[in-house]
Amino acid sequence: MSTVTDRLPTFPWDKLEPYKKTAAAHPDGIVDLSVGTPVDPVPELIQKALVAAADSPGYPTVWGTVELRDALVRWVAQRLGAKDVAHTNVLPVVGSKELVAWLPTQLGLGEGDQVAFPRLAYPTYDVGARLARAESVVYDDPIADLDPTRLGLLWLNTPSNPTGKVLGKDELTRIVAWAREHGVLLVADECYLELGWEADPVSVLHEDVCGGSFDGVIAVHSLSKRSNLAGYRAAFIAGDAGVLGDLLQLRKHGGMMTAAPVQAATVAALGDDTHVAEQRARYAARRTALRTALEAHGFRIEHSEASLYLWVTRGESCWETVAHLAELGILVAPGDFYGEAGAEYVRVAFTATDERVAAAVARLT
């Protein structure tokens, strides 16, 4: 008898354990640049909001408090350039990974349906398709590469994880129009939108992209990176009111509730831009230092115009690069975690502390 786990790939990070041990044996310790997990403190105003809401004995609502929905509506309108946003256009979720993994199932997709995502992509898009027993399909250009007749869900990821590539406004507009023409639900993972460096990422919900209508379009956003809230599991989706309404009802039955203190913390986080600018400045400095050191070491950096990663290569197997850097005490993510097209690349996160980044720079140069 088959089990759910039979449908899933080997958890990729388990493959990295031997290299992690090698890197950890370095006399000055490991510099872990493999997982893009925040290491800087949660901003004080967010911590205070969480603590103030700690006495929350009752069940929270799946749709969130009125204050949370107000904050989401305001942020989507102001930050994403969306028009006529209402409470029915927003929905909090328990971290964006949960949403990505279970969205195909929650949409009712299954055998005979296709879920499409970029050729180089976050592995959880594929996991979500597998959990729903749908077929995974990869693309370089969705319009040129995909047959819309069986397509139940089209994932965009801009800025991209792992490459940092950003889709421009014209490209997004073209894809939205194509998806609507063929009745395909388009969901854009925009969790790195506020981390543009050599590009200014645009949301699929921007008025100029979607024409002021959210029909057939959803955006996914997370506070993990912008506000150091990975441990809070604070995220939300915004867009098509009909789709979000169906998801709300389903998630009520499933008890998929964001914890009440986290809802209060999210309100505080979305209402403050200062901590976002401060965190961007930290990442910008680390990015510059690592980029310079990697190039000096003989690496070529491609894309990487946004997000928290550098997508680098020196024309060899990604595992050879992983092994080489592990000998220097530096752990990175092999590119084939994100698809076969990444076989000669590694992803380098700049989410380590300033001290650890400086150690990596010293070892590379």
pLDDT in tens, 15-59: 899 999 999 999 999 999 999 999 999 999 999 999 999 999 999
Residue 282: what pLDDT? Answer: 98
In angstroms, the CA 80 to CA 219 distance is: 10
CATH 3.40.640.10 placement within the chain:
44-270
Sole residue written with tokens 């950890």: 24
Delimiting residues of CATH 3.90.1150.10 domain(s) in the chain:
4-41+275-364
Confidence at residue 365, expressed as pLDDT on a 0 to 100 scale: 93
Q: CB under 8 Å to 66, separation ≥6 — which residues?
A: 87
Model confidence, pTM: 0.95
The CA-based dihedral angle spanning residues 247, 253, 254, 259, taken in that order and rounded to the nearest 10 degrees: 90
Identify the CA nearest to 311 among candidates 323, 319, 299. 299
Provide CATH code, domain 44-270: 3.40.640.10
Name the residue among 243, 135, 250, 113 with its Cα closest to residue 186: 243
Which segments of the chain have a pLDDT < 70? 1-6
**Residue at 158: amino acid letter:** T
| One-character DSSP codes across 20-56 | HHHHHTSTT--EE-SS----SPPPHHHHHHHHHT---
Judge whether 327 and 27 are in contact, CB under 8 Å: no
**CATH number corresponding to 4-41+275-364:** 3.90.1150.10
- Count of CA atoms in the C-beta half-sphere (13 A) of 97: 11
pLDDT number for residue 297: 98
